[in-house]
Amino acid sequence: MALPEPVARTRRIAVVDDSAAVRQSLALLIGARGFAVDAFPGSEDLLAAPDLPGYDCFVIDLKLDGPSGSDLLALLRQKGLEQPAILISGWDVDSLERVAVKSGFSAQVRKPMMDNSIVDELLKVLSAADRLMEPAPDRKTGAGK
Amino acid sequence: MSDTPKAFQVPLNQLDATAHQLHLESILNSVPDAMVVTDESGTMLAFSRAAEQLFGYSAAEMIGQPVNLLMAGRDRTNHGNYIGNYLRTGNRQIIGKGRVVIAARADGMVFPIDLKIGEARIGDHFLFTAFIRDLTEQQSAELRMQEMQSELVHFSRLSAVGTMASALAHELNQPLTAVANYLEASRDLLDSPDPEIKEVLRGALAEAATQAVRAGEIVRKLRSYVSRGEVDVRPVSLGPLLADAIALTKTSRDRADIPVSIVVADEADRALADPIQVQQVVINLIRNAMDAMVGQANARIELRVSPAEETDYVQIEVCDNGPGLSPEIKESIFKPFATTKSQGMGLGLSICQTIVEAHGGTIRAVASPEGGTCFRFTLRRDTGKTQP
């Protein structure tokens, strides 16, 4: 199986999920693909992380103890953190996409995450962010190529 | 509403026959609620216009017939006892009080009604006047049906299963997600020559196995909750039991429109079953049929109870005229987590199968002659030889 193109620098991903099994397995899965992963059990734990601006993407579970995944993203945005985020959830499958879009997530992945969906989404989201960043750092111009 | 029964306390015996007849007819044609008058044997003496519309029978057909024709479920069989009991003891189980009971239309469809009964004494005789409101379309229907449900223990258990299923869906998602992730990661790590990575791989596989076992325990927990292995089998009369089950499927307004009829062959009415569990199966099958036909014109559901091919068994069929089952889903329909519903857990039929098999019966899905699906399950017939 062709692995994705190696990336120039190691991307850092923050995973937030209250289930230890999901958290650890996700960290391993994403880590095996060459990302550097930090996993957090709850919103507060992530918010207390020492280097929040250093992450390239947040992977956040919808249902968390304390503030929900949507609330957590809002708090991150309030802090001026604009990195892309992916919502994961096993709840209320039908409305997940709506919740994700409304809360400002770039993508959503349903649990259980069979096949490669979380890594695929991660790569897509990161390359979209790269395209925005590369030609003109001022993303508002939207000049593209 | 409470004063309506008094409307009939007219000294009828003082009117001459023609005046009496006219008076009665004017009442019968103008009362907005369906009204049925019976004598003390339960024979119908009058049948209002609203009653004709509600039940689909004409007054001419009904006069002289026993009133329990209009009833379904256990009230159909017990009605004679209610009147007898009242006349003998004066114990008013229902007189003057409203009660939710299950009624049957001419086409066999059953529906919940609010029943109030007034009495009128004429000479030595009693007349009973029943005022009937159709609860199907009433705002209060759900509320009143809940009163009835509280009498039927199984419903709370049934909804508890629903709540539990949704909680368990989430519970189950966690270990399954972990298993999938560990295995995906293992595949990526497999080619690494690094001995440390090999240890990581070993750990990931061990963890995946642990999580798979956890998922299995969750499923087992649910199954044991639903069916505790033992069934409380006793002789039951399927007609009333199923009529009650049908009424319980009509508690939500969007489902109430789909007519459900029932035909019970007399020789197949007596079965050996746990009544609560059999109702659980039937409610599940009817709800599935309803869900498969949402928005469909002319949707209908038919229950048939008849002798099974196998000696000393009866079969219960729940047939719909919906879209039918695709060959793919037909293969896996009784397997846990097989579902075509976007919000479904896919546990309902698996639970039905567990219950039916615990009764010593079988359940299968066959194509209905009318194009939909029939679910057919068998139960042991009550031959009268077995001790309760």
List the single residue in B169, B182, B342 with the smallest CB-CB distance to A25. B182
**Binary contact (A90, B174; C-beta < 8 A):** yes
Contacts of B213 by beta carbon, 8 Å cutoff, 6+ apart: none
Q: CA nearest B226: which of B152, B170, B281?
A: B281
Residue in chain B closest to A18 (alpha carbons) equals: B174
Q: How far apart are CA A37 and CA B283, in angstroms?
A: 49
Segment B132-157 mean pLDDT: 51
**In chain B, which residues have their Cβ closer than 8 Å to the Cβ of A93?**
342-343
Is any Cβ of chain A less than 8 angstroms from the Cβ of B181? yes
pLDDT at B339: 63
List the single residue in B180, B185, B342 with the smallest CB-CB distance to A112. B180
Closest chain A C-alpha to B166 CA, distance in angstroms: 9
CA dihedral B328, B331, B337, B341 (to 10 degrees): 40
Which has the higher per-residue pLDDT, A6 or B90?
B90
Structural domain boundaries enclosing A43: 12-141
List the single residue in A19, A32, A63 with the smallest CB-CB distance to B189. A32
Segment A2-17 mean pLDDT: 76
Contact predicate B171/B152, CB 8 Å: no
**Binary contact (A21, B211; C-beta < 8 A):** yes
Q: How far apart are CA B44 and CA B59, in angstroms?
A: 9
Q: Token pair for residue A113?
A: 């995450």
Please check the confidence at residue B238 and state whether its pLDDT lies above 50. Answer: yes
Give Dmax over CA atoms of chain B in angstroms: 109
Segment A113-117 mean pLDDT: 74
Closest chain B C-alpha to A47 CA, distance in angstroms: 24
Of A51-65, A79-93, B322-336, least confident by mean pLDDT is B322-336
Please report, as a single letter, which amino acid is at residue B153.
V
Residue position matching structure tokens 């009660």: B99
pLDDT at A140: 46
Segment A30-42 mean pLDDT: 91
List the single residue in A19, A28, A94 with the smallest CB-CB distance to B174. A19
Contact predicate B174/A88, CB 8 Å: no
Q: How far apart are CA B114 and CA B134, in angstroms?
A: 7
Q: Residue B55: which H helix or E strand, with range?
A: helix B49-55
Closest chain B C-alpha to A124 CA, distance in angstroms: 18
Looking at the domain assignment, is residue A7 inside a domain?
no
Please check the confidence at residue B170 and state whether its pLDDT lies above 90. Answer: no
Is any Cβ of chain A less than 8 angstroms from the Cβ of B13? no
**In chain B, which residues have their Cβ closer than 8 Å to the Cβ of A113?**
177, 180-181
**Binary contact (B181, A119; C-beta < 8 A):** no
Please check the confidence at residue B319 and state whether its pLDDT lies above 90. Answer: yes
How many pairs of residues across A and B have Cβ atoms under 8 Å apart? 76
Segment A122-126 mean pLDDT: 93
Q: Token pair for residue B158?
A: 């049934």
Please report, as a single letter, which amino acid is at residue A110.
R
Please check the confidence at residue A121 and state whether its pLDDT lies above 60. Answer: yes
Within a 10 A sphere around the Cβ of B215, how many other Cβ atoms? Answer: 19
Segment A34-61 mean pLDDT: 93
Of B130-134, B256-260, B285-289, least confident by mean pLDDT is B256-260
Residue B155 pLDDT level (bands cut at 50, 70, 90)? very low
Is any Cβ of chain B less than 8 angstroms from the Cβ of A143? no
Strands B99-104 and B110-122, bridge-based pairing: antiparallel
Residue in chain A closest to B182 (alpha carbons) equals: A25
Please check the confidence at residue A12 and state whether its pLDDT lies above 90. Answer: yes
Per-residue pLDDT reduced to its tens digit, B106-123: 887 777 787 888 777 777
Q: Token pair for residue B1?
A: 């509403």
**Highest mean predicted confidence (pLDDT) among B126-140, B156-170, B360-374:** B360-374
What domains are there in chain B, each with its CATH number? 4-148 (3.30.450.20), 154-226 (1.10.287), 234-381 (3.30.565.10)
Closest chain B C-alpha to A1 CA, distance in angstroms: 9
Contacts of B16 by beta carbon, 8 Å cutoff, 6+ apart: none
Segment B300-312 mean pLDDT: 92
Contact predicate B357/B344, CB 8 Å: no
Of B5-14, B134-143, B222-231, B288-297, least confident by mean pLDDT is B5-14
Closest chain B C-alpha to A91 CA, distance in angstroms: 6
Residue B15 pLDDT level (bands cut at 50, 70, 90)? very low
Provide the 3-class DSSP secondary structure of residue B102.
Answer: strand
pLDDT at B217: 76
pLDDT at B374: 92
Q: What percent of chain B has pLDDT over 90?
A: 15
Please report, as a single letter, which amino acid is at residue B256.
A
Selected residues 16-45 of chain A with any CB under 8 Å from a CB in chain B: 19, 21-22, 24-26, 28-29, 31-33
Number of domain units in chain A: 1
Per-residue pLDDT reduced to its tens digit, B328-363: 777 667 765 556 665 555 567 777 887 888 888 999
Is any Cβ of chain B less than 8 angstroms from the Cβ of A118? yes
Question: How much is the mean pLDDT over chain B?
Answer: 76
According to the 3-state scheme, what is the secondary structure of chain A? CCCCCCCCCCCEEEEECCCHHHHHHHHHHHHHCCCEEEEECCHHHHHCCCCHHHCCEEEEECCCCCCCHHHHHHHHHHCCCCCCEEEEECCCHHHHHHHHHHHCCCEEEECCCCCCHHHHHHHHHHHHHHHHHCCCCCHHHCCCC
Mutate: best of A3, A22, A30, A87, partner B, most B CBs <10 A: A22
Contact predicate B285/B315, CB 8 Å: no
Is any Cβ of chain A less than 8 angstroms from the Cβ of B343? yes
Closest chain A C-alpha to B255 CA, distance in angstroms: 21
What pairs with residue B373 in β-bridges? Answer: B367
What does B120-182 look like in DSSP terms, one character per residue?
EEETTEEEEEEEEEE-TT-TTHHHHHHHHHHH-HHHHHHHHHHHHHHHHHHHHHHHHHHHHHH
Query: Contacts from B385-388 at CB under 8 Å and sequence distance 24+?
Result: B386/B235, B386/B272, B388/B234, B388/B235
pLDDT at A41: 92
Residue B19 pLDDT level (bands cut at 50, 70, 90)? low
Residue in chain B closest to A24 (alpha carbons) equals: B178
Q: Residue B118: left (phi > 0), alpha (psi -120 to 50), or beta?
A: beta
Cα A14 from chain centroid (whole Å) = 7
Q: How far apart are CA B30 and CA B16, in angstroms?
A: 21
* ipTM of the predicted assembly exceeds 0.90: no
Segment B287-302 mean pLDDT: 86
Segment B47-60 mean pLDDT: 90
Residue B219 pLDDT level (bands cut at 50, 70, 90)? confident
Of A109-118, B140-149, B197-206, B339-348, least confident by mean pLDDT is B140-149
Q: Token pair for residue A118?
A: 């979380």
Per-residue pLDDT reduced to its tens digit, A76-86: 999 999 999 99
**In chain A, which residues have their Cβ closer than 8 Å to the Cβ of B176?**
111-112
Which has the higher per-residue pLDDT, A110 or B343?
A110
Please check the confidence at residue B1 and state whether its pLDDT lies above 50. Answer: no
- Residue A76's domain is classified under what CATH number? 3.40.50.2300
Segment B23-45 mean pLDDT: 78
Q: How far apart are CA B374 and CA B317, in angstroms?
A: 6
Q: Where are the beta strands (DSSP E) in chain B?
A: 34-39, 44-47, 99-104, 110-122, 125-134, 234-237, 260-264, 270-273, 301-307, 313-320, 363-367, 373-381
**Binary contact (A19, B181; C-beta < 8 A):** no
CA dihedral B9, B12, B18, B22 (to 10 degrees): 0
pLDDT at B385: 65
Looking at the domain assignment, is residue A114 inside a domain?
yes
